[in-house]
Amino acid sequence: MRETFADKVRKLCRELGAAGREFGTDELAERLDMVFAQHKKPLYKALHDFEKCGEIQRVRRGVYRYKGKNKPPETQERMWRILRARRKVTVTDLQELAGADANYAREWLRMLGRNGVVKKAATTDGAFVFRMVSDPVVMPRNEKKAERLRRIREKKKIALEMTDRLYATALEIRMAINSIPEEDS
């Protein structure tokens, strides 16, 4: 399949917007070898479309942040819908019907067991079936894991801010060094 112009712009937005970095239309146009204003119209159209569907966020005029494509329901949400509909599932059911990895499905079912939503029972063939014993309607979240991920993201954000400050300081030092006049011997 041939890569469309929008695909190229999306790929660049994803690349330039890595780790929440802001990027501008000028930077995109330069990477796409678009010099003249009349050649940039398709770029503006693509950015407008991406902004409309929520894939990018406009920070200010000509500056954007990449948010990512709107995704179909998360694997957890699909597994939750299947569990609520069937009331009884196996890990294999979740693999086949929700497209979940076996280990991920087991971890999710264990978390639901700790929250009192499902009970684990052995079947005659040695497999396990998970039966829903209470229906809280809203899927319980793994708060311990969510908190751990929040701490990791916060540390990453601090590290990136420190890196940006170090980079700015290095540039200032380089400019100061370059401004020192060279003496002839």
1 pLDDT above the threshold of 70:
no
d(CA 175, CA 32) in angstroms, rounded, equals 30
CATH number assigned to the domain comprising residue 51: 1.10.10
Q: CA 153, 158, 159: angle at the middle one, nearest 5?
A: 95
Q: Same domain, yes or no, for 11 and 44?
A: yes
Q: Confidence class of residue 155 from pLDDT cuts 50, 70 and 90?
A: very high
For the chain, percent of residues with pLDDT exceeding 70: 96
d(CA 166, CA 161) in angstroms, rounded, equals 9
Do the domain assignments include residue 184?
no
Q: Same domain, yes or no, for 42 and 93?
A: no
Q: Same domain, yes or no, for 103 and 154?
A: no
d(CA 97, CA 78) in angstroms, rounded, equals 8
How many separate domains does the chain show?
Answer: 3
Residue 25 structural domain: 5-66
- The pLDDT of residue 84: 93
SS3 content of the chain, % helix, strand, coil (to 5): 60, 15, 30
- pTM value > 0.75: no
Q: Confidence class of residue 2 from pLDDT cuts 50, 70 and 90?
A: confident
Beta bridge partners of 58: 64
Do the domain assignments include residue 156?
yes
Do the domain assignments include residue 185?
no
Do the domain assignments include residue 15?
yes
Do the domain assignments include residue 137?
no
d(CA 180, CA 86) in angstroms, rounded, equals 75
